[in-house]
């Protein structure tokens, strides 16, 4: 099957009945709203129903006075109403001083993503415009305090966002900041000034999924299985976190870079939400070719994402969508019926296993449709998936990893999450996914034990090693190892903690650029810490009052010893 002969569907605007935030965190694409069902300010209960997981603290950007807008280094504009995830960690409990501060504060990739106040241009140099619309622009930016740390910056005008759009933006940010997966775009930082919100995300330079395929001279079933597997890995992880995407389509699946083996990343969580397995969702939104029939009926669950993946897989294998029409209305009518066929001319050389998977993913009745996890474990995908061996060096790095204080934990976590390249992560991703037997995007204790038992040939010793690893590596104290925790501990420490990186990290932690890190500056990075813990951190850093660059470098470089 040659990619050059395929005529992929033209990009479709997202058909939304609810308000849209006018583009994703990574792209700015125009989106349509059905004016007859446009949600207005009078319909606040309906808005609250959609975002029942979130509580808006600020009424609107316009309601903020200049004095309010400038108070404090952080503005807590959004938070999750449930206690599971806080925007800012709270650590006000008094503690006794212990031998080490390790484990006294929960750390995760999300703790570094807080809404910061001030000029973003102090930290980033803007480059080319990647996209723009009526509500803002997306820029390619470079961090001033690091060498070559390139990111994408979405700038959103506060004056263009009414309160419901702001609420939706914060809902998306709250979801994305807590997602930690190798196939989901990373949200790094949030800023605001009087005029704009700024969202700093991973810069994905490899282009859209179908654009890459069209440039290939030959495209095989094996390649299609490899691509859909990566997408399903992200979807399974989201569903395990009780998050539904609701607008999976080729434009929202990008390659991380231009290399031929670049990983895929899912972007645009503007239509995503937390869901309750006991309740059906009712908001009608999505994109014509990819929307599930039950979404059109406004009675659906997370399996709407599986339908979208089934459509994507169909297009990957033949070059056109299963449901077509001259207008969006025609397309949606075909989707509602759910009838499609495998034309012999285009599908004659495609395996029955591939067709069977598509049939199982495109069942009109969601109760008869397979789950994302079942699709990921389908025989056709397994057949084309290379069984990677566990990298013993990576496991040895995990065993050797030591964090001498909460401070070094925080810095190492930041460096691993935000300052490492895709190339540095690639080998670690393979090992992480090999160990992750149930493919839920998190390493359980049992999965780690199984991985170490294969290498050590001794289960009792494996259990002992894993218990030690979890005590040190499990920064957010979940009893499991998240992807960012794995990156931090499994990477070669010589490479992770280079002098160049440590100096760059110091400049980032030293927010006011005075050559020292104060308690307030550390709190900007990891949230509130009590005075006793701060004093213990100072003792561990052999510092008085504040942490100097020399003390910062010494404690981090000693980490490698």
Q: Domains of the chain by range and CATH?
A: 206-384 (1.10.510.10), 392-560 (1.10.238.10)
- What pLDDT, on the 0 to 100 scale, is given for residue 338? 95
- Written as six digits, the tokens of 509 are 């932690």
Between 268 and 386, name the one with better pLDDT.
Answer: 268
Question: What is the band of 511 on the pLDDT scale with cuts at 50, 70, 90?
Answer: confident
- Written as six digits, the tokens of 184 are 């989901």
Give the Cβ contact number of residue 258 at 10 Å. 10
pLDDT in tens, 65-116: 333 333 333 333 333 333 333 333 333 333 333 445 555 556 666 666 777 7
Over range 462-488, report the average pLDDT. 89
Task: Could you list the residues known to form a binding site, using ranges.
Answer: 154
pLDDT in tens, 516-536: 999 999 888 887 888 988 998
Helices (H), 319-458: 328-337, 344-347, 352-361, 372-376, 379-384, 392-400, 406-418, 422-435, 445-456
Q: Which residues pair with 243 in a beta bridge?
A: 274
CB neighbour burial string for 114-133, b if at least 16 within 10 angstroms, e if fewer: bbbbeebeebbeeeeebbeb
The SS3 call for residue 201 is strand
Contact by Cβ (8 Å): 27, 132? no
pLDDT in tens, 112-153: 677 777 788 888 999 999 887 666 789 999 988 776 789 999
Between 96 and 13, name the one with better pLDDT.
Answer: 13
Which H or E run includes 508? helix 499-509
* Mean pLDDT of the chain, nearest integer: 80
Backbone dihedral region for residue 268 (phi beyond 0: left; psi -120 to 50: alpha; all else: beta): left
Which H or E run includes 532? helix 531-540
Task: Could you list the residues known to form a binding site for ATP, using ranges.
Answer: 154
Residues known to be catalytic = 247
Pairing label, strands 243-244, 196-202:
unpaired
Question: What is the band of 51 on the pLDDT scale with cuts at 50, 70, 90?
Answer: very low
């Amino acid at each position: 099957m040659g990619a050059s002969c395929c005529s992929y569907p033209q990009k479709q605007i997202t058909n939304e009945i609810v308000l849209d935030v006018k583009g994703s965190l990574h792209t700015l694409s125009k989106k349509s709203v059905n004016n007859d069902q446009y949600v207005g300010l009078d319909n606040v209960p309906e808005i609250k129903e959609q975002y029942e997981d979130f509580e808006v603290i600020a009424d609107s950007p316009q309601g903020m006075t200049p004095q309010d807008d400038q108070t404090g280094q952080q503005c807590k504009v959004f938070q999750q109403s449930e206690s599971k995830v806080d925007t800012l960690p709270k650590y006000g409990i008094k503690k006794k001083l212990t031998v080490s501060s390790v484990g006294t504060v929960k750390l995760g990739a999300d703790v570094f993503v807080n809404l910061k106040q001030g000029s973003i241009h102090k930290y980033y140099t803007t480059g080319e415009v990647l996209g723009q619309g009526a509500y803002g622009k997306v820029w390619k930016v470079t961090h001033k305090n690091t060498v070559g740390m390139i990111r994408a910056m979405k700038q959103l005008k506060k004056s263009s966002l009414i309160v419901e759009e702001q609420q939706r933006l914060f809902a998306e940010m709250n979801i994305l900041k807590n997602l930690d997966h190798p196939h989901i775009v990373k949200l790094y930082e949030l800023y605001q000034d009087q005029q704009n919100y700024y969202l700093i995300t991973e810069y994905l330079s490899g282009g859209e999924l179908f654009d890459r395929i069209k440039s290939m001279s030959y495209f095989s079933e094996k390649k299609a299985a490899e691509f859909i597997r990566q997408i399903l890995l992200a979807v399974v992880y989201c569903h395990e976190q009780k998050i539904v995407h609701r607008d999976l389509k080729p434009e929202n699946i990008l390659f991380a870079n231009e290399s031929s083996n670049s990983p895929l990343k899912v972007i645009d969580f503007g239509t995503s939400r937390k869901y309750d397995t006991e309740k059906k969702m009712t908001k009608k939104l999505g994109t014509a070719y990819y929307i599930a029939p039950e979404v059109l009926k406004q009675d659906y669950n997370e399996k709407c994402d599986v339908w979208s993946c089934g459509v994507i897989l169909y297009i990957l294998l033949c070059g056109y969508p299963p449901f077509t029409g001259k207008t969006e209305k025609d397309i949606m009518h075909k989707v509602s019926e759910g009838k499609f066929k495998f034309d012999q001319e285009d599908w004659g050389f495609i395996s029955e296993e591939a067709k069977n998977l598509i049939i199982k993913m495109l069942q009109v009745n969601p109760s008869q449709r397979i789950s994302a996890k079942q699709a990921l474990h389908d025989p056709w995908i397994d057949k084309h998936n290379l069984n990677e061996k566990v990298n013993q060096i990576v496991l040895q790095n995990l065993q050797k990893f030591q964090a001498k204080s909460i401070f070094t934990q925080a810095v190492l976590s930041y460096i691993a999450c935000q300052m490492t390249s895709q190339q540095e992560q690639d080998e670690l991703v393979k090992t992480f996914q090999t160990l992750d037997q149930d493919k839920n995007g998190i390493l359980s204790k049992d999965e780690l034990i199984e991985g170490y038992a294969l290498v050590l040939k001794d289960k009792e010793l494996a259990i002992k090693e894993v218990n030690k690893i979890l005590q040190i590596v499990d920064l957010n104290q979940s009893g499991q190892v998240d992807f960012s925790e794995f990156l931090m501990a499994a990477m070669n420490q010589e490479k992770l903690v280079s002098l160049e990186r440590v100096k760059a990290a110091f400049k980032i932690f030293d927010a006011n650029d005075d050559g020292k890190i104060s308690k307030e500056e550390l709190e900007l990075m990891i949230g509130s810490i009590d005075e006793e813990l701060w004093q213990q951190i100072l003792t561990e850093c052999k510092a008085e009052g504040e942490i100097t660059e020399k003390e910062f470098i010494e404690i981090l470089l000693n980490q490698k010893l």
